[in-house]
Structure 1
Amino acid sequence: MWGCSKFVFLATVALAAATGCPGSAAEIDRADLYRAQSVTNGFSEANRARALAPCLTEVLVKVSGDPRLTSDPRVGEMAARAADYVKDFSYRDLLNNRPPHDEQGTYDRPQYLTTDFEPDKIDALLASLTRKPWTSRRPAIVALFDVKPMKGDGFVLAKDGDAAKAADMRTALMVAARQAGMPLVLPGQDDIRSTRDKKPEALAGMAKTLGGDLVLAGTLIWRDEALGWVGDWQLPANGKDYHWQVRGVSFDDAFRTAMLGAAQILSGNGQPEPIVWAR
């Protein structure tokens, strides 16, 4: 019997494999904005319907650049009918085609579900929500993050760093960027300069040098009193210096907040709100 944590781990690995290396700033494939992935059990229609619901929400957010849609009750109603907007879907066995070891494994075997939604239908849903697709070029974001874990030395997250948790954090950041529809660049350790200077003009100067368009700077610190990680994010863009924060979350959720916040700003959907998640 597979637990939820194993599903999350396998889904993260699969998403990272689909995304590719985070060290280069590739243009976002427009078709990929209308595609989402999730994990489900077996091939039943009921299980697929449950897996399609978060996929539709992800696509609406990714296409529009507005993460506030996740809390819109109208989106919840649309997600319940997500199958109506599907163009195509496919499954991939998360157990690498290993034979099932019992009868339950035959029916509830975890599957990686990839779903493509009809672009015209998604755009129409966004119009009904008074939103529109973010069609302009999406800037490549250079992630320059200082990490201070619960134990051990702090480090700057790099594409080739070997600090404890660095590999898992790179994977989580890749997934977050893909779910936000944002091109991502992680600098190499040899390319990283001091991150103490967070003045907007200094960050703007770093972007081109590190292979991107804009620098998303931040700190990710474990805080016992917050019962989790605290992420502080800064993005100089459009002549302004944006700041936002998330408290008491996993590092996966912290990175998701960082990338979705950047998408919200750059798509013209306003300033991200601070978030505190109770445990």
Structure 2
Amino acid sequence: MRLFRPLCLRGLLAALFLLCASATGPTSDNPASLYQAVAIVTGTVEPERSRGFAAALEEVLVKVSGDISLAGSSSLAELADKAGDFASSYHYRDRMAGIPVHDEQGTRERPHFLTVNFAPEKIDAVLRGLGREPWTERPVVWLRVEVDNGISSFLLAHDAAFGQGQRAALMEVAKRYGLPIRLPDGVSAAEPMLAGHLTWRPETLDWSSRWRLAAEGKTREWEISATSFDAVFRAALGETVSLLAGRKRK
């Protein structure tokens, strides 16, 4: 039973991602999404609003710069209290829309998606103040990801029956990092830029993975182990973003 658990973490979300095209993330003709982030908040008033704005600002600064080392840094912590100053607009969406309010607290305790659009010129200025540059021109990354769950092996493809949970998690992480990705249509896809192989290890209850990035005539290889494939993808795509943006992890 443990072998199946990692495959079902995002099963409920997979159907939504199957409706998407095989490519996800911002493109050179639609960079605005780089300056947008969504945070989950409880209610629509303070202090949750400020917390949501701060979380969204951190995501956008990391996404626009391509520098994942900014996440959780003291530099961003100092900007948290004035995150709203950099926003151009925001709106809420009730996560429980359609479900009647049934408690004394009304909508104050209902979870919401807080979507924040930040002003590009303000975000670019903040990044330059932090010694970073905006990275708005980014390539589409071809991924060839193989998964061995201990029972079967399969290639992640946007229209394949296997790997729906992994595919959903991969696309979610790519969107968060603002990285346009494309999954192959079956096994006849073009040569990938990023290749990965994930293996579930029942003896240690984690995923072991190997990755190879080929870009601009250079090849980088690394390994990642984590207890969930979500964490593996966050680390793998985070490393990819850093390398493509011309930065290495310290």
Give the TM bin, normalised by the shorter chain.
Answer: 0.7 to 0.9
CA contact (8 A) 1:36 1:115 kept: yes
Deviations 1:113-163 (CA, angstroms, capped at 9, x unpaired): 11111212211211121111013x3111111111122x4212111112222
Q: Which position in structure 1 is the counterpart of 2:27?
A: 27
1:160 is aligned to 2:138: no
Give the stretch that moved more between structures: 92-101 or 30-39.
Answer: 92-101
Following superposition, the deviation at residue 54 of structure 1 comes to 2.0
Where in structure 2 are the equivalents of 1:49-198 lying within 5 Å? 49-104=50-105, 106-135=107-136, 137-149=137-149, 151-163=150-162, 166-189=163-186, 191-192=188-189
Specify which structure has the higher proportion of helix.
Answer: 1
Q: Which position in structure 1 is the counterpart of 2:210?
A: 232
SS of the counterpart of 1:107? coil
CA contact (8 A) 2:13 2:168 kept: yes
Deviations 1:80-107 (CA, angstroms, capped at 9, x unpaired): 4322221111111212322122224532
SS of the counterpart of 2:152? coil
Aligned-partner Cα distance in 1 for 2:47–2:204: 38
Aligned-partner Cα distance in 2 for 1:188–1:122: 37
CA contact (8 A) 2:13 2:165 kept: no
CA contact (8 A) 2:25 2:178 kept: no
User: How does the TM-score come out when normalised to structure 2?
Assistant: 0.84
Aligned-partner Cα distance in 2 for 1:25–1:46: 31
CA contact (8 A) 1:36 1:114 kept: yes
Q: Which position in structure 1 is the counterpart of 2:3?
A: none
Q: Which position in structure 1 is the counterpart of 2:230?
A: 252
Q: Which runs of 5+ in 1 are unaligned?
A: 1-7, 193-205, 208-213, 274-279
Following superposition, the deviation at residue 27 of structure 1 comes to 2.1
Give the stretch that moved more between structures: 29-38 or 97-106.
Answer: 97-106
Aligned-partner Cα distance in 2 for 1:129–1:81: 15
Aligned-partner Cα distance in 2 for 1:241–1:50: 40
Following superposition, the deviation at residue 60 of structure 1 comes to 0.7
Q: Percent identity between the aligned chains?
A: 38
1:269 is aligned to 2:247: yes
Give the total of aligned pairs: 239
Distance change >3 Å, CA 171–CA 109, structure 1 → 2: same
CA contact (8 A) 1:86 1:117 kept: yes
Distance change >3 Å, CA 36–CA 26, structure 1 → 2: closer
Deviations 1:24-54 (CA, angstroms, capped at 9, x unpaired): 7872521111100121111112112112222
Q: Which position in structure 2 is the counterpart of 1:41?
A: 42
Distance change >3 Å, CA 20–CA 81, structure 1 → 2: farther
Q: Give the AA of the match of 1:169.
A: Q
CA contact (8 A) 1:41 1:107 kept: yes
Q: Give the AA of the match of 2:119.
A: E
Following superposition, the deviation at residue 229 of structure 1 comes to 2.1
Distance change >3 Å, CA 239–CA 68, structure 1 → 2: same
